[in-house]
Amino acid sequence: MSHLDDILKSRRDTRHFTCDEVPDEVIQKALQAGHWAPSVGLTDATRYYLIKSDEVKSSIKMLFLDYNKKAEELTDNLEQKELYRSLKLEAIEEAPIGLIIAYDRSVLNQFTIGTIGSNEAVKFSSVCAAQNIWLSLTEQGYGMGWVSILNYYEFKKILDLPENIEPLGYFCIGKPATNYNNQPMLQQLHWKKKSEAPICTEINEIRKINNIDFDVKSNQKTENRPDFETLLQEKIDSKTKPVGSLGTLETLAFQMSTVFENLNPKITKPTIIVFAADHGIANHGVSDYPQDVTRQMVTNFLEGGAAINVFCKQHNIELEIVDAGVNYDFPTNTKLIDAKIAKGTQSFLHVPAMSETEVQLCFDKGKSIVENIAKLGSNCIGFGEMGIGNTSTASVLMSLLTGFSIEECVGKGTGVSDERLIQKQNILKKAIDSYSGQADLMSQLSYFGGFEILQMSGAMLEAFENKMLILVDGFICTVAFLISSKLNPNIKQNAVFCHCSAEKAHLKLLNYLNAKPILNLDLRLGEGTGCAVAFPILKSAEAFLNEMASFESAGISRK
């Protein structure tokens, strides 16, 4: 067996170190080996941070202990839990040197060969660098241990790492104190046995993908619907008021009853889902905010600090946050629904935003999320979104699906200047003019779609199938509804359009859909805030229908 084979087969993660110092020349040689690793498109995105300070090591150790405690609770098997507690999974304070291997996401802001198909390619390059460093250290008689049991958000925060720097983990470096009997420590302690050979499967045929079925079913309403509607209208008109005097509240009460198929409708477990994702088009200056704001705002949602958190808390509405495709790896212990398709779409200025398979996956994941919420007893669901660049995506989709010019469909989004608005219009017009694909819905969605927009569309379709009231927020959510309505026109029966956004194209789209919004408050925040603010009006419609006296019960003469 060659020397290289011996190194490759030896213990990978060292957890026990001697007190010997690591010479600078050893570290420099190892880092040079990392620099020689394959780098996609020669991005040179890998970054290194050395740690020798006992104070810094101690702080990182505390992060590990906190997260490790949570990891321990993930198993209910008492024997496995006890074994997990006994494992030595790090040597943060014992190892002479700590190393952070990270990658710089800002390289994705420029056109880079090799990242067109996957934004994660820069991360893969950094993993190659980590492998080379481990090989070099082992060859020099040293070892390295990879610590990944950390809350990466807190990890970056205490080390004051720039927002664009994403760590692979914390690596302990030093002289190994044991060879673990030439086998992985976890295998030695009977946690799991490593397979003897690689798992490899030959693929010798392709699966053709054509005419993907959205699997939209028709929701059959009550057979005696005319009789039901007659009884419902009589109930509304018999309340102690002039006929029609409660205006939109009467319309909402009628709609609520027909959706729930109940003369005494009751909203149960109202929920708002915020879908978040990143968009490749954001890298072309269509927004005043950098793409990383998507990640920052999702963190804000999870910490309860956003407007939608405040309004949901005010009105006792459940809030769910969905990672549909944010360009970030969120910690696994967050209260987040992981429905990530990829780390953001590609830029439709150059290439399709996603594949047709990813379009179908978006619809499937959106439907599954609502299906699970419906099983918990919710019959009223609102939709919100977050994603820097998603007004651009929504504008293009609106233009294609309605026939309106792109100029009529583009607004200021996050509040761009007049000059930037013209630039935004020109970029989106160029994208549409350059499109040479088919005019069918699937082709258009795959080329110009957004992960969160399409997941919302699938979710709305599933909400209709489950006879839920569908609360539609602003411009982007209405575009998601537009897509759903193209697939199933009956969905409008269940839709409540909560407000008219300050985004100029929203009113035009509402008129196209012949939809009357409840509120007009010049909102343009997104997040589902319009749904939450409009919710008390729905409760008022419910209350008058169920609790208001009738002329007969109150002994009052009718007109």
Tell me the sheet residues that pair with 497. Answer: 472
Q: Is residue 290 helix, strand or coil?
A: coil
The secondary element (H helix, E strand) that includes residue 338 is strand 337-338
Q: Could you confirm whether 356 is annotated as catalytic? A: no
In which residue are the tokens 């880079």 written? Answer: 112
| CA-to-CA dists, residue 144 to 136, 149, 263, angstroms | 10, 16, 68
Length of the chain: 559
271-277: strand order across its sheet: 337-338, 318-325, 271-277, 380-386, 469-472, 495-497
d(CA 402, CA 119): 32
User: Strand 97-104 relative to strand 165-174: parallel, antiparallel, unpaired?
Assistant: antiparallel
Contact residues for 400 (Cβ-Cβ < 8 A; gap 6+): 432, 444, 448
Question: Tokens standing for 4?
Answer: 């290289």
d(CA 394, CA 414): 13
Question: How many CB atoms within 10 Å of residue 304?
Answer: 12
Number of Cβ within a 10 Å radius of residue 469? 22
Structure tokens at 489: 């026109």
Q: Which listed residue (250, 527, 542, 552) is catalytic? A: 527
Are residues 479 and 387 in contact, defined by beta-carbon separation less than 8 angstroms?
no
Residues with a known catalytic role: 527
